[in-house]
Amino acid sequence: MPYLHAPEDLGELLEGEPRFRVDQLRDWLYKTPVLQTEDMTNLPQEVRSRFSDRLWPFTVEVEQSADSGTTRKWLFRAPDGAAIEAVLMGYPRRATLCISSQAGCALGCTFCATGQFGFERHLEPGEIFAQVAYAQAFLRQIGMPGVPDHLTNVVFMGMGEPLANYNRVREAIRRMVEVMGLSARAITVSTVGIVPGIKRLAEDPWPVYLAISLHAADNELRTSLVPINKRYPLEMLVAAAWEYFEKKGRRLSIEWTMMDGVNDTDDQATKLAVIANRLRAHVNLIALNPTPLTEETASPERRIEGFARLLANHGVNVTIRNTRGREIDAACGQLRIVAGKSGIAG
Ligand code: SAH
Ligand code: SF4
């Protein structure tokens, strides 16, 4: 499984072959990924066949399509049974891939499907990167109607908390930026607020975008929705986010999942405006997507608009995110539902 070797260690797979063969393989894996080894046209059959049945570190268990073919969700399955989900969303000038950093998540945010099913394991750098390579190969070789033939954005908004798996996520980002050649500006790390992880990300050389999943603007409410807030309360989180902004000069974003009667009040909007203004952050409002164990329901559309207006009146830059792939459970926080329901998730 070549993606489980670091790009620098591919020689191990091609013992006895000249250096240029190793470089060719590296380019097929990292620069112009292909769906199958047969497509690695300049490698001799004998060399390709060494890993032809195990190019990917997972099998494609489910592939679903929605939004007239411009949204695609994959459920990949690692040999040990771990489920890895990725969602590709195509637009006229953009192709955004949402990737997973862990199988499951240990942080248990009440409204999130991934959190509700608990933690399985961390994903390896190669498993994280292979999601990107797979989508890149898909766009190049199969494509989506009216969508660019390559990824323009990668967001860590699938399953798992990227900053709770820092070293592996870091290595995956290194491969995306330094080996694949993706701009750091094309990458967004979304975190629920692991403060030491934000600090480490700030120390790393790549100016990736940071999204903070805030959901509540006071500690009491936030701790009830996002248990890790007890360990890293709002003041710490806001300070770390500001530090990141100052260091990288990248505009922060704040994610806010709108729950009816929970965090969609004028009071929360006013408090959120203070935080967003202090951080000069952009706010994304996302209507709650239903999950099996969530009692909360999405805020009505009119309330979301009212909440957005209130923020805007306070000078906050705000967008209401429209949801992709809802009918295939590919929307935020819904990953893992189908697998969980049918009992096939490891
Ligand atoms: N663990 C990271 C990244 C994965 S979650 C984080 O929490 O940021 C990606 C985004 O989906 C987060 O902003 C998260 O709050 C949001 N989300 C989770 N469950 C959701 C749901 N049921 N409906 C809408 N958004 C949800
Ligand atoms: Fe984990 Fe993010 Fe879901 Fe919270 S919202 S349980 S941190 S994946």
Dump pLDDT digits (tens) for 213-230.
999 999 999 999 999 999
Contact assessment for residue 86 and residue 142, using Cβ atoms and an 8 Å cutoff:
no
One DSSP character per residue, 295-328 reads ---BPPHHHHHHHHHHHHHTT--EEEEPPP-GGG
337 vs 84, residue with greater confidence: 84
Give dist(CA 54, CA 100) in Å, integer: 21
CA 139 to ligand 1 centroid distance, Å: 25
Give dist(CA 78, CA 82) in Å, integer: 5
Q: Is the pLDDT at 114 greater than 90, yes or no?
A: no
Give dist(CA 334, CA 288) in Å, integer: 10
Give dist(CA 108, CA 224) in Å, integer: 11
123 vs 290, residue with greater confidence: 123
Q: How distant is the alpha carbon of residue 265 from its chain centre? A: 28
143: region left, alpha or beta (phi > 0 left; psi from -120 to 50 alpha) = left
Give dist(CA 11, CA 56) in Å, integer: 18
Contact assessment for residue 114 and residue 333, using Cβ atoms and an 8 Å cutoff:
yes
Confidence of residue 186 (pLDDT cuts 50, 70, 90): very high
CA 2 to ligand 1 centroid distance, Å: 31
Please give the order of strands across the beta sheet that includes 209-213.
59-66, 71-77, 83-90, 95-98, 153-156, 187-191, 209-213, 253-258, 282-287, 318-321
Could you tell me if the CB of 88 is within 6 A of ligand 1? no
For residue 64, the model assigns a pLDDT of 93
Contact assessment for residue 319 and residue 280, using Cβ atoms and an 8 Å cutoff:
no
Q: Is 112 a catalytic residue?
A: no
Dump pLDDT digits (tens) for 20-35.
999 999 999 999 999 9
Question: Which amino acid is residue 186, in one-letter code?
Answer: A
Q: Is the pLDDT at 335 greater than 70, yes or no?
A: no
Dump pLDDT digits (tens) for 229-260.
999 999 999 999 999 999 999 999 999 999 99
Q: Which of 120, 119, 185 minimizes the C-alpha distance to 151?
A: 185
For residue 344, the model assigns a pLDDT of 30
Q: How distant is the alpha carbon of residue 345 from its chain centre? A: 19
Among 105-119, 136-150, 297-311, where is mean pLDDT lowest? 105-119
Secondary structure (3-state) at 169: helix
Which atom of ligand 2 is nearest the CA belonging to 112?
3
Out of 102, 107, 110, mutate this one to test ligand 2's pocket (max ligand atoms within 8 Å of CB): namely: 107
Domains of the chain (ranges; CATH) run 1-55 (1.10.150), 56-342 (3.20.20.70)
Q: Is the pLDDT at 330 greater than 90, yes or no?
A: no
Q: Which of 257, 226, 340, 332 minimizes the C-alpha distance to 292?
A: 340
Read off the pLDDT of each residue in 134-139 and give the average, rounded to a whole number.
98
Say which of 8, 85, 161, 203 is annotated catalytic.
85
Q: What is the dihedral of CA 103, 107, 109, 114, to 10 degrees?
A: 10
